[in-house]
Amino acid sequence: MALEQWHCTVCNKDFKTGEWACADGVTNHIVEVKEYLLDDAPTDGSSSESLRDGRTLICNIPPERKAMHGDEVRIIPGGCVEFVRGRYSTSDPEIQHYLNRKGGFCTEDRWNAVWLSQNQQMQIERDRLTALSQRLENEKNELLALQKKEKAKQPVGVRG
Judged by the rule CB under 5 A, the positions of this chain that interact with Zn ion are 8, 10-11, 22, 29
CB of 56 to Zn ion, least distance (A): 29
CB of 34 to Zn ion, least distance (A): 16
**Which residue lies nearer to Zn ion by CB, 31 or 37?**
31
Written as one letter, the residue type at 113 is A
Nearby residues of 100 by Cβ (< 8 Å), 6 or more positions away: 1, 4
Q: Pick from 14, 18, 9, 11: which is nearest to 96 by CA?
A: 18
CB of 130 to Zn ion, least distance (A): 42
**Which residue lies nearer to Zn ion by CB, 92 or 111?**
92
Kindly report whether the peptide bond that precedes residue 62 is cis, defined as omega within 30 degrees of 0.
yes
**Which residue lies nearer to Zn ion by CB, 10 or 51?**
10
**Which residue lies nearer to Zn ion by CB, 6 or 36?**
6
CB of 98 to Zn ion, least distance (A): 18
Q: What is the CA radius of gyration of the chain?
A: 26
For residue 2, what are the β-bridge partners? none
